A and B are shown apart, each in its own frame.
Chain A
Amino acid sequence: MLRMRRTVAMAVVAALAFSGFVGAQEGPVLIGASIPLTGGVAMFGQHSRWGAELAIAEANAKGGVLGRKLEMDFQDNRCNPAEAVKSVTQMLAEKKYVAIFDGLCSSAALAIMPLVERAGIPFVVANASATSIAERSGVGGNKWTFKVNPTDGSMLDALVTWLDKDGKAGSIAFLGEDTDFGRAGSSGLEAALKKRNRKLATVDFFQKGTADFTPVFTKIKAQKPGLLALYAVDADFQNAIRQWYSMGGGVPLTGRVLVDQVPKEIMDSGFLDGTTSVQPYDPSVDTPGNRAFVEAFRKAHNVPPILVSFESYEATKVLIDAIRRAGSANPAAIRDALATTKLPSMLGTTIEFDDHNLAHNNAIILTIKGGKVLVLGMSKT
């Protein structure tokens, strides 16, 4: 009797395990994302999520991939490397994800890289801009990490080339947040200027969450540099730009100025005229692909996309394309397919990865004239 019970129990367990296995094969193709959903840059996390979800929704509307639906699970990393490691370790332990997505912040992405290498699972970086991510990937490095967006170094080189052409690269003061983003901006600018035998006039960093910029702006105004490179995002950018305005500015801005997030009143006043910014994206880029993206994004969320939404959207499309071409949900096959990516970008180039698994999309050089953002041109990174 006891043996019979055991046999029945084992049969039930085997049946459940088998049905679970079948379910897993027939269930959605899962991608794990680690992005900041709370904390100081949660707004960017939200846009990253919206961008990725839009790409997934479009793919699913066309039947998904490998005959299955696509799904992306989002875990919060608070833009903190330790939280990023925790969230990705948890996802990798579950062994149900075919790839890991984004990280968003450079320090988080850098912390995720060794984990995906050990686990043998592709990692697609959409937004983190630190040059070191590409330097450590591909040949002689991490073969599982693919960076779709340009590095700070390549974008700033494009910007300084542009500024130097107009003789404006001579005296640039730098003010940036004390994070990998700000530090990469400072070192990228220094490297680009060094190539031209120039250097930054002054360098200053601030802690994220700084509310008051009046002391440093008073100092910068007194130093009278030719340009001020501002590396601030989210609430810091809003505070900085408003305080810069109320202090009368007087020095044109440059660097990665988030021109799409400047308050309308300040923009309309013409106060920021003469600003030159380099960005991986601007919603006003006039290509059919971008027009459709902006319209779909607005329809879904009632706000225009920002560069984070764009980068996550396009990077997710790169990943979906690789899964489709891999013909299986096997991570190694997806990695090999990623390496041979040739996907048209909304910015007019073809996304292809170099030996360091870095794509070289166009960077957008923007200026502000008459209170309007104008695309000065696109420069390949």
Chain B
Amino acid sequence: MDLSFCLQLLLNGIVIGVIYALVAMGLSLIFGVLEIVNFAHGEFYMLGAMLAYFLTMNARLGYWPTILVVTAVAVGLGYVLYEALLGSLQGEGFERSILLTLGLSMVLQNGAVFVFTTTPKMMQTRYSYSNVSLGDLRVPVMRLLALGLGLLAFGALYLILYRTRVGKAMRGVAQNRDAALMVGIDPRAVSRLAVAIGVGLSGLAGAALAPVYAVHPLMGFSFVFKAFAIIIIGGLGNVAGAAIAAVGLGVLESFVGGFFPLVMVDALAFTSMIAILLLRPQGLFGRGVRV
């Protein structure tokens, strides 16, 4: 196997890893602040992709306006999700949140099947069939754009969490909700914002990936389970850990798929998760301090 083969695998792995990170970071943020495992997270990714498809293919909106509109709608949906459902779980059992979000996932998925049918749709943009070539290496333009959006989202989220007062408040609530309340932070407002950002990231991932993968109502289901494995590997509630674990997993999957039978790739995320849980239960980057 030559160098260009390995470089192509590395490049593919980084791109898919950043794509995983887009979904996993939102999931991690919501868990970090609310201690809720959002099983419906994949469905917001699917809805983001569906909306992006309809905005570009039916409303003839351009790629960049579509990304902005879908992200804004997803952030709005996050607010609604918190106010209508998750907010009422504050302080309630962990099991209730699982049942609630799992139920919501089923409703959203089957609702999408009913409305959009299961026929896979391909979103077309002017760059859908363009590639960037460097010697033997080839990367589709739409994947590069998804990569760019992923990096941008990670940068923005990092700045919000570590360079703003609201980010500090979020980290405070994640670390100790009662203590945060005592120093004047409104946990409800912070939680609402965390869900909005988390769902917004998921919607952004859907819009960024709609031109890359086939869009259909079941696309979120398998993705979200991999995201669960990623956030456990990275350290539950640790957003940066989730991002690093996602990129690492993407690269590992690419090399395993390149050198071994492809069926081994699917087991990789969960095998790694089990190994991490056995060797380092708090996750690779977990320090008992979240977000």
Q: Footprint of B on A, CB under 8 Å? A: 38-40, 42-43, 46, 175, 178, 204-207, 209-212, 214-216, 218-219, 222, 234-235, 238-239, 242-243, 245-248, 263, 265-266, 269
In the bound complex, residues from chain B placing their C-beta under 8 Å from that of A207 are: 263, 266
Q: Is the CB of B222 within 8 A of A209?
A: yes
Residues of chain B within 8 A of A235, CB atoms compared: 120, 214, 216, 218-219
Partner of A218, one of B12, B118, B265: B12
**B56 beta carbon closer than 8 Å to chain A:** no
Whether A247 pairs with B138 at a CB distance below 8 angstroms is yes
Mask for B150-182, Cβ within 8 A of A = 1, else 0?
000000000000000000000000000000000
Instruction: Report the bound CA distance from A248 to B131 in whole Å.
Output: 9
Are A215 and B12 in contact, CB atoms less than 8 angstroms apart?
yes
Q: Which residues of B contact A242 (CB under 8 A)?
A: 122, 214
Complex: A235 Cα to B140 Cα, angstroms:
19
The answer, yes or no, to whether B86 is at the interface (CB within 8 Å) is no
**CA separation between A218 and B259, bound complex, in Å?**
10
Q: Decide yes or no: A263 and B265 within 8 Å by CB, A214-B254, A218-B12 being known contacts.
A: no
Distance in angstroms from A217 CB to nearest chain B CB is: 9
Among B13, B117, B218, B265, which residue has its beta carbon within 8 angstroms of that of A46? B117
**Contact yes or no, A238 B122, CB < 8 A:** yes
Contact of B129 among A38, A178, A234, A269 (CB under 8 A): A269
Chain A residues near B266 (CB, 8 Å)?
207, 210
B223 within 8 A of A: yes
B88 interfacial by beta-carbon distance below 8 Å: no
A205 to chain B, nearest CB (A): 5
- Please give me the residue from chain B that is nearest to A243 by CB atom: B140
Q: How large is the interface on B (under 10, 10 to 19, 20 to 34, 35 or more residues)?
A: 35 or more
How many cross-chain pairs have Cβ atoms below 8 Å apart between A and B?
A: 102
The chain B residue sitting closest to A216, CB to CB, is: B262
B177 to chain A: closest CB distance in Å?
A: 36
Query: Bound complex: CA of A38 vs CA of B110, how far in Å?
Result: 8
Measured in the bound complex, the distance between the Cα atoms of B259 and A239 in whole Å is 21
A215 touches B118 (CB 8 A): no
**Is B128 engaged at the interface, CB distance under 8 Å to the other chain?**
yes
Interface residues of chain B, those whose CB is within 8 Å of chain A, are 1-2, 5, 8-9, 12-13, 15-16, 110, 113, 117-120, 122, 124, 128-129, 131, 138, 140, 143, 213-214, 216, 218-219, 221-223, 253-259, 261-263, 265-266
Is there contact, CB below 8 Å, between A246 and B117? no
For the complex, give the distance between the alpha carbons of A283 and B262 in Å: 33
Task: Chain B residues near A175: list those with CB within 8 A.
Answer: 262
Which residue of chain A has its CB nearest to the CB of B139?
A: A246
Chain B residue with the shortest CB-CB distance to A204: B262
A40 CA to B113 CA in the complex, in Å?
11
B8 and A218 contacting across the interface, CB-CB below 8 Å: yes
Of B122, B219, B257, B263, the residue contacting A263 (CB under 8 A) is B122
Chain B residue with the shortest CB-CB distance to A236: B214
Q: Which of B143, B216, B253 contacts A215 (CB 8 A)?
A: B253
CA distance A212 to B119 in the complex (A): 19
Enumerate chain A residues within 8 angstroms of B12, measured Cβ to Cβ.
Answer: 212, 214-215, 218
CB distance from A206 to the nearest CB of B (A): 5
State A209–B221 Cα separation when bound (angstroms).
9
Name the distance in Å between B111's Cβ and chain A's nearest Cβ.
12
**15 A–B contacts from the bound complex (CB under 8 Å):** A38-B113, A43-B117, A175-B262, A178-B263, A204-B261, A205-B262, A206-B263, A209-B218, A215-B12, A215-B256, A216-B258, A219-B259, A222-B1, A246-B143, A248-B138
B129 lies within 8 A of A265 (CB): yes
For the complex, give the distance between the alpha carbons of A175 and B219 in Å.
21
Most buried by B among A207, A214, A222, A248: A214
Would A206 and B262 count as touching, CB distance under 8 A? yes
Chain B contacts for A218, CB-based, 8 A = 5, 8-9, 12, 254, 258
C-alpha spacing A214/B140, complex, angstroms:
11
Whether B257 pairs with A216 at a CB distance below 8 angstroms is yes
Q: Which residue of A lies closest to B267 (CB)?
A: A207
Q: Give the distance to chain A from B188, nearest Cβ to Cβ, in Å.
A: 36
Cα distance A265–B15 in the bound complex, in angstroms: 24
Complex Cα distance A355/B124, Å? 50
A215:B257 contact, CB within 8 angstroms: yes
A260 to chain B, nearest CB (A): 13
